[in-house]
């Protein structure tokens, strides 16, 4: 009799264990691999450490997900595609910064492909297609046209570039030089063109850095428009894993410090792969990156696009 009762208790326990294992298997099979660019940022004065997959924690909608790979971008197997975009509506005083831009391009590692484009009428006019010939890319810079409002919207132009940018497996990043002012939408919160740009960049895994430079014409000295333009550029950097650089409402004396910091950040980037759970259907999911390494912050996009499964 005791043997029979024991069997009755063991059987439901076995069923429960098998059911739990089956649920875990279904959850694992439903996970979608997602890749993002992660930048290692250290507190001032601290050395930048080398990190491994075990050092990274990814939380999707506050649930920790499994990291499957972490690969440095700057190695023999890695690479980067980088576009430098200049808003043709910026003041022609930008000419004083072109030498800094040329030096930045020439200083990039040979594995980095560089393109140069100018924002105009909601599109990007290519001055130099992506190339590993950095000297050739450096020669393609010119003065912006300095025509007020000619960009139409810098955010529509960035969407145009992203949609025409074929996926190659390499990391993709942008340095955008603009006032951030949107002549189509105007000023104020909830800019739909900015929202669409952030979605496009997150879906494509594109990191965006921005450097503020004033617009030509009245907008270049309108504090209201300058303020909102800078807010837009800051949000664009925060949400895509990039950064925004500015010097109040004035044009920077030199781009060199900003470009130097961007170059250093690119030296400390990894391509992170993790298993995203999603909700079974295609859509964006919020993520947070954490690490227990002292004095280190991991910077990446605020959301990722998880395909349907």
Which is more confident, 53 or 249? 53
User: Is residue 289 situated within a structural domain?
Assistant: no
Q: What is the pLDDT of residues 10-49, one digit of tens each?
A: 445 444 444 444 444 444 456 789 999 999 999 887 889 9
Give the lowest-confidence range in 27-31, 86-90, 148-152: 27-31
State yes or no: pLDDT of 309 exceeds 90: no
pLDDT at 74: 73
- Cα 6 from Cα 229, distance rounded (Å): 72
Residue 183 falls inside a structural domain? yes
pLDDT at 3: 45
pLDDT tens digits for range 124-144: 999 999 999 999 999 999 999
CA distance 275 to 203: 16
Q: Residue 263 belongs to what domain range?
A: 80-267
- Reported confidence tier of residue 75, pLDDT bands at 50, 70, 90: low
Q: What would the mean pLDDT of 151-180 be, rounded to a whole number?
A: 94
* CA 198 remoteness from chain centre: 9
pLDDT in tens, 173-196: 999 999 999 999 999 999 999 999
pLDDT for 18: 43
Note the pLDDT of residue 172. Answer: 96
In a domain, 73, yes or no: no
Contact 87, 180 (CB under 8 A): no
Whether 155 has a pLDDT exceeding 80, the answer reads yes
- Which of 256, 81, 249 shows the shortest CA–CA distance to 162? 81
Give the total number of structural domains in the chain: 1
Predicted pLDDT at 30: 64
What number of other Cβ atoms are within 10 A of residue 161's Cβ? 24
- The CATH number assigned to the domain holding 137 equals 3.40.50.410
Determine how many CB atoms are found less than 10 A away from the CB of residue 111. Answer: 15
Sheet holding 63-65, edge to edge: 63-65, 57-60, 283-290, 303-306
pLDDT in tens, 262-303: 999 999 999 999 999 877 788 999 999 999 999 999 999 999
Whether 36 is in a domain gets the answer no
Element (H, E) at 136: helix 134-139
215-252 pLDDT, tens digit each = 988 877 788 899 999 999 999 999 999 999 999 989 99
| Assigned domain for 274 exists | no
For 86, the enclosing helix (H) or strand (E) is strand 80-87
Q: According to the model, what pLDDT value does residue 6 have?
A: 47
């Amino acid at each position: 009799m005791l043997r029979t009762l024991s069997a009755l208790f063991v059987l439901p326990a076995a069923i429960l264990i098998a059911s739990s294992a089956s649920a875990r298997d279904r959850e694992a099979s439903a996970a979608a691999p997602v890749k993002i660019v992660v930048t290692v940022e250290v507190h001032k004065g601290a050395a930048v450490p080398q990190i491994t997959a075990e050092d990274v924690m990814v939380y999707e909608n506050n649930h920790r997900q499994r990291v499957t790979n972490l690969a440095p971008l700057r190695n023999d197997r890695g690479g980067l595609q980088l576009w430098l975009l200049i808003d043709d509506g910026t003041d022609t005083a930008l000419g004083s910064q072109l030498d800094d831009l040329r030096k930045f391009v020439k200083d990039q590692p040979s594995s980095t492909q560089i393109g140069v484009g100018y924002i105009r009428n909601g599109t990007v006019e290519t001055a130099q297609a992506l190339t590993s010939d950095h000297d050739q890319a450096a020669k393609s810079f010119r003065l912006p046209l300095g025509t007020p409002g000619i960009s139409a919207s810098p955010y529509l132009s960035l969407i145009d570039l992203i949609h025409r940018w074929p996926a190659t497996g390499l990391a993709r990043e942008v340095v955008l030089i603009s006032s951030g002012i949107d002549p189509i939408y105007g000023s104020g919160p909830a800019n739909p063109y900015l929202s669409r740009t952030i979605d496009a960049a997150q879906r494509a895994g594109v990191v965006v850095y921005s450097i503020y430079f004033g617009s030509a014409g009245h907008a270049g000295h309108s504090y209201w428009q300058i303020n909102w333009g800078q807010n837009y550029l800051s949000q664009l950097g925060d949400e895509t894993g990039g950064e925004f650089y500015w010097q109040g409402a004035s044009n920077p004396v030199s781009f060199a410090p900003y470009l130097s910091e961007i170059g250093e950040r690119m030296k400390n980037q990894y391509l992170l792969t993790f298993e995203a759970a999603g909700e079974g259907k295609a859509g964006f999911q919020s993520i947070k990156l954490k690490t227990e390494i002292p004095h280190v912050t991991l910077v990446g996009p605020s959301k990722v696009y998880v395909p349907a499964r």
